[in-house]
Amino acid sequence: MLHETVSTLINEQINKEFYSAYLYLNFSAYYQEKGLDGFAHWYNVQAQEERDHAMLFLQYLQNNGGKVTLEAIAKPEFEADSNLAVLQAGLAHEQYVTGLIHTIYDAAYGVKDFRTMQFLDWFVKEQGEEEKNAEDLIKKMELFGSDPKGLYMLDQELAARVYAAPSLVL
């Protein structure tokens, strides 16, 4: 049985992961309107990842005696003013999610919930990758984004992203 604090934080994380998917769908729509289909595709894949993360947390909660409590998902309030601003907001959001994962990990550590800590290890690693990917996109946009040919090539690169669902044993 999960500690009440850990269970509550995991429930909150489910909501935050679904919010992340909404936010990234918002980013995708922004890029689609700009004619940057590769960027839009990249964020559609990102949204799918976040939905899957929410489902992993939900399943973990169910498998460990926790009660799932789904709350309303907030509307993303982000208004982009540039292609770069969207990418920067993506990095800031990933850093925020990393902090949320660390909070759950800390709570699990505090009550010696080693199973949850082991479950969260995958997310800690995943968040490191997410932040690195976001940082790399920002660097590429800063280097190539002001040149139409460079932006076109970057858009083509992002269009090639393929989604692989996580294979995490719960």
Domain of 26: which CATH number?
A: 1.20.1260.10
Per-residue pLDDT tens digits for 95-106:
999 999 999 999
- Give 18-40 pLDDT, tens digit per residue: 999 999 999 999 999 999 999 99
Residue 170 covered by a domain: no
Kindly report the number of other CB atoms within 10 A of residue 68's CB atom: 13
168: in domain = no
Domain presence at residue 11 = yes
Residue at token pair 């090639």: 160
Does 85 map to a domain? yes
Residue ranges, the chain, pLDDT below 70: 168-170
Residue 167 forms part of a structural domain: no
Residue 162's nearest CA partner among 48, 33, 1 is 48
Q: Which domain holds residue 47?
A: 4-159
**In a domain? residue 62:** yes
Q: How many domains does the chain have?
A: 1
